[in-house]
Amino acid sequence: MPDNWKSRVIRDDCSIVLGGEAGQGIRTIEDVLTRVLKLSGYNVFSTREYMSRIRGGVNTTEVRVSSKRVSAFLNRIDILMPLGLGVIPRLERRISRDTFIIGDDEVVGGDLEGYEDQFINAPLTDVASRIGGSIYSNTVAVGIMAGILKAEIGVLEDYLGRLFSAKGLEVVDRNIAAAREGFRIGEELSNSMGLRVELKGNPKVKGELLLSGGEAVALGAAAGGCNFVAFYPMSPSTGISVFLAQHMEELEIIVEQAEDEISAVNMALGAWYAGARAMVPTSGGGFDLMVEGLSLAGMIESPIVIHIGMRPGPATGLPTRTEQADLNIALYSGHGEFPRIILAPGTIEDAFHLTGRAFNLAEKYQVPVIILTDQYLIDSIYNIEGLNLSETTVERHIVETDQGYRRFKFSEDGLSPRGIPGYGRGLVCVDSDEHDEEGHITEDLQVRSRMVEKRLRRLEALKREAIPPQLIGEKDYRVLVVGWGSTYHILREALESMGRDEISLLHFKQVYPLHPSAERYLREAEETIIVEGNATSQFGRLLKAETGLNMNKRLLKYDGLPFAVEEVVEGLEKLTS
């Protein structure tokens, strides 16, 4: 311990960052630590930043553990545990003089210049070597953090036993030994070296759900009646398909990895044509390839659900980081004119319920429904009380056809009864060319005009069923902060910490078509500030196009990282001063 060491107590909310090389197992540490802390009765939140490579570079994960519910990203680091060189320089901007740095000086000593007085040496390498090798360093690290945070050692041992059971008893025993030794070191740091974290546990938290955004999307699809998934791997959406593939038997879903995204979207269209409920998880670059299929869905009035996990582009961009810059392609992609719906979950609960709802909307209105998330939401994990399954129902809108069946029958609301081949005696004919009511190709220009009008008439019904934006804060606001998608918790915590009653938040979880109340909320504000993760304010421009109202000010971010609560507070204070 340095001579000028000052002990400090971290109360109620502790932000921990662990970092190491890609391939060093940082994600495993995150998985174990968040689950053990939750099972010990603490509220947790985690999210990660990682390199798009197999080995090398620096991966980090932030774990927030708190006496109250937490679900937003912070810049502040209370405890940093670097497990390799390069972590401290990479996080330099987030390290303050109050940050405790815990690590093995034999490993990270080269990065410690200027941080000596806030560094605590922990002999991870020696301990791991005595137990069985450096491979156990990560488990020692988990044990140290569990000891500092006063997690339940029995819970940690049980979890490690289950995690490594497939690798044999020796591996289980050595991991438990590593965890115990790390736990002892953590307790010693807490008891004798003045690094104290005081948190209030809650027994109810132990029984709560701990989900990632990606898992919530996958479970929402299952709850919404999805029974076919076609995909081509692409970060950050791949985890959704992998999760569904791992549970395909109990969820009764067929998961197919196609040879490319073009095949995936067309497989999904074929599945819907045959009566299935299909989803295509992808990301921006994959969606680029799916656009022709999206247009085909528009022409044949086929339902389809497409999930886009946004990441920074253009092209490969920053493939493992986050951004909200694919709204425009979701909104305007495809040739010709046809209606669509775009949903943007802001929470784990939203990710579940909106994904389930997407299948009913797609089938009812025979349109593409795009679920727009991002890497930040997909990879964020936090505990929630539960999911109300009664809010998710499977609504089918398939008719039994007769001999006079016309797939594209003209109607006042633009909806034609949707039949599927083999269910009834009618012919279910579809064609990517313009067609008549029966689905046969036509170049009758009067029919063409009527078909265009019929397809677009559904947009009015979609507006009536749109999800209204959520107002958080006082109704008689002067300043209205506008956000959408994954910034929900970040903006909410930022405004709560500012404590300014004249500022309220308007959050959109459906970004197209907009609910009619959006314009009223915007008009009632003296000043509007749009906050979004892109460089050109794509949603602000959409609001202008739909309501005629300009956002007065903008707070934008596009460096590949999510907004931090402190960044939003600082930005809003400047914009409203």
pLDDT tens readout for residues 243-292: 999 999 999 999 999 999 999 999 999 999 999 999 999 999 999 999 99
pLDDT at 48: 93
Least confident of 22-31, 453-462, 496-505: 22-31
Least confident of 27-31, 194-198, 317-321, 499-503: 194-198
Q: What is the mean pLDDT of the chain?
A: 95
pLDDT at 15: 97
pLDDT at 195: 84
- Give the DSSP per-residue string, 524-537: T-SEEEEEESSSS-
Element (H, E) at 60: strand 56-66
pLDDT at 124: 95
Q: How confident is the model at residue 535 (pLDDT cuts 50, 70, 90)?
A: very high
Query: Measured between alpha carbons, how far is 311 from 571 in angstroms, rounded to an integer?
Result: 23
Alpha-carbon distances, residue 248 vs 211, 240, 464 (angstroms): 18, 12, 35
Token pair recorded at residue 47:
């999210």
Which own/partner contact pairs does 201-207 have at CB distance under 8 Å and 24+ positions apart? 201/40, 201/41, 201/42, 201/67, 202/41, 202/42, 202/43, 202/67, 203/41, 204/41, 205/38, 205/41, 205/42, 205/43, 205/383, 206/38, 206/39, 206/40, 206/41
Rounded mean pLDDT, 226-240: 97
Query: Measured between alpha carbons, how far is 181 from 120 in angstroms, rounded to an integer?
Result: 17
pLDDT at 337 over 70: yes
pLDDT at 1 over 60: no
Alpha-carbon distances, residue 57 vs 19, 31, 54, 141, 249 (angstroms): 10, 20, 9, 20, 37
Q: Any residues with CB less than 8 A from the CB of 94 and at least 6 apart, and which? A: 17, 75, 76, 77
pLDDT at 499: 96
Query: Facing residues of 198 across strands?
Result: 11
Q: How confident is the model at residue 5 (pLDDT cuts 50, 70, 90)?
A: low
Terminus-to-terminus CA distance in the chain, angstroms? Answer: 44
Residue with tokens 């190709």: 441
Which parts of 465-575 are beta strand (E)? Answer: 470-472, 479-484, 503-508, 510-512, 527-532, 553-556
Rounded mean pLDDT, 184-209: 91
Sequence-ordered alpha helix ranges (H) in 235-319: 238-246, 248-251, 261-273, 284-300
Q: Which of 274, 327, 332, 269 is nearest to 299 (CA)?
A: 269
Q: How confident is the model at residue 6 (pLDDT cuts 50, 70, 90)?
A: low
pLDDT tens readout for residues 53-96: 777 788 999 999 999 999 999 999 999 999 999 999 999 999 99
Q: How confident is the model at residue 2 (pLDDT cuts 50, 70, 90)?
A: low
User: Strand pairing of 341-343 and 503-508?
Assistant: unpaired
pLDDT tens readout for residues 507-532: 999 999 999 999 999 999 999 999 99
Q: What percent of the chain has pLDDT over 90?
A: 93
Rounded mean pLDDT, 447-471: 97
**Displacement of CA 168 from its chain's centroid (Å):** 34
Q: Provide the CB-side half-sphere exposure for 265 (13 A, CA).
A: 25
Token pair recorded at residue 318:
């920053």
CB count in 10 Å sphere of residue 453: 11
Q: Which of 103, 126, 123 is nearest to 20 (CA)?
A: 103
Q: What percent of the chain has pLDDT over 70?
A: 99
